[in-house]
A and B are shown apart, each in its own frame.
Chain A
């Protein structure tokens, strides 16, 4: 089953990170990606720009509303995702626990709700 790991963290914690720190962070995430790939469970990953750069759009209420900034103004913000393909939640949790993000934030594990073979109405 496919699981998405949502990586939440307090962005201010990295405000004074040096280029060396950022490079080392890339390296530990690179190690993690390699481990997922070696296990044959890696599907995809994304690393996002800070939430201050987010734009939200809605037409709820009939009118298009555009907002500069993230949807939820919380201390912990979404910073990236991993999609993995593993047999069950136990395995997904084993991998979530290895994710570098657990040391400075929260990893939320969610199973896919997509029907087998993808959305049948999509091409």
Chain B
């Protein structure tokens, strides 16, 4: 750990390390004690110390190891001071080293193991309410500020901060372990983790916050690929990583120069990110080879079929419908049934699409359907294509009234006028 002189700005360097290794360091520090808040505290101290030392002494060769050593010493200091408080005045504390329950003594700072998966399984533990899984993971694994996460949910930060504190306290006090689930428990536990990552990606970002969207969407994609790397035999982990790679590949193509929404089938394929598409296809192939198709793999497969328009110039809607059929078999949701109807409309004409929309009625009651924006948006397009102009207009108006996203709304308004 010899400090070397580097021309890099220590602040920028620390920020980069924070981004890259925050979750790794939190996971290491918290994995033995289940105390995430304490891990975050000592890590914050370590980062503050780095900001103090690095500009003077230079950035250490192994900055992550430096940070973990400082943080570990801090853990020991805290243990020692609470130890001497407890046994004040006794002879014991003179030469007895503080008990190190954290097991950090044996840690080699040059080879920090990746414990993030354990941290993620703790954050998405079934004993914690599922609505906190995503924010907890975004904060502890990705290092996002509570206020930024809260803003993404259009939620006051005080509300979210309280919930995060409560969740961390429960992890510690109830003894939620930082362990990998047993084989028999793996599928449901992993599903919770993957859904939390998906939730981070799918957050409904405000249009004006596009920069932050960029960060969180790519961070969630990064997290999905971390999980896929650590669990290469889990097909759904690979499936989610593929799905998010495909989705991220289309991000800039989703808006035109006027920031208006562009639907998938009208996007300029030249604006899709080829590297991410390739990565998605590699991950998906690996998943499919494992031979147990499930939700995220099928959704990724649908995306992959859409993406092949970039090379073939056309979309195989009939095949997309088949994958939706399989998806609905496994995971019958209204969202999938609506998307299937839209695909069927493309493959076999609007009348077929409209008939398929009736299937949605079997999955949701009328009151719920009436409040479902995608249902009305899909129905309005199909009605217009079927030449039912006045019904289409009514459906468009209904869809527009349910749309809270301004880019999608102005796109629907344009479609209605077509």
Contacts and interface: CB of A to CB of B under 8 A. Distances in A.
Interface string B376-409: 0000000000000000000001100111101001
Given A39-B406, A86-B401, A93-B371, A14 B151 contact: no
B406 A13 contact: no
Interface string A29-49: 001101100110000000000
A38 B403 CA distance: 11
Interface residues of A, number: 29
Given A20-B147, A39-B406, A25 B401 contact: no
A21 B157 contact: yes
B159 A31 contact: no
A35 B406 CA distance: 7
B404 A35 contact: yes
Interface in A23-67: 24-25, 27-28, 31-32, 34-35, 38-39
A14 B401 contact: no
A32 B157 CA distance: 15
B314 to A, nearest CB: 35
Interface residues of B, number: 26
A28 B406 contact: no
Interface in B30-51: none
B404 A21 contact: no
Contacts of A94: 371, 373, 401-404
B317 to A, nearest CB: 30
Nearest to A18: B158
Contacts of A90: 370-371, 398, 401-402
B162 interface: yes
**Interface residues of A: mostly helix, strand, loop or mixed?**
helix
A102 to B, nearest CB: 9
B156 A91 contact: no
B404 A95 contact: yes
Contacts of B147: 20-21, 24
B154 A91 contact: no
A93 B370 CA distance: 11
Given A28-B150, A90-B371, A93-B371, A104 B159 contact: yes
Interface string B158-172: 111110000000000
B206 interface: yes
Contact of B154 (A17, A18, A20, A32): A32
A27 B151 contact: yes
Of B153, B159, B161, B371, the most chain A CB neighbours within 10 A belong to B159
Contacts of A104: 155-156, 159
Nearest to A15: B158
7 contacts: A21-B157, A24-B157, A25-B158, A88-B401, A94-B402, A103-B154, A103-B159
Closest 4 CB pairs of A and B: A91-B401, A25-B156, A103-B155, A104-B159
Interface of B: 147, 150-151, 153-162, 206, 208, 370-371, 373, 397-398, 401-404, 406, 409
Given A20-B147, A103-B156, 18 more contacts: A14-B156, A14-B158, A17-B156, A17-B158, A18-B158, A20-B157, A21-B147, A21-B161, A25-B157, A28-B154, A32-B154, A38-B406, A38-B409, A39-B403, A87-B398, A90-B401, A95-B404, A103-B153
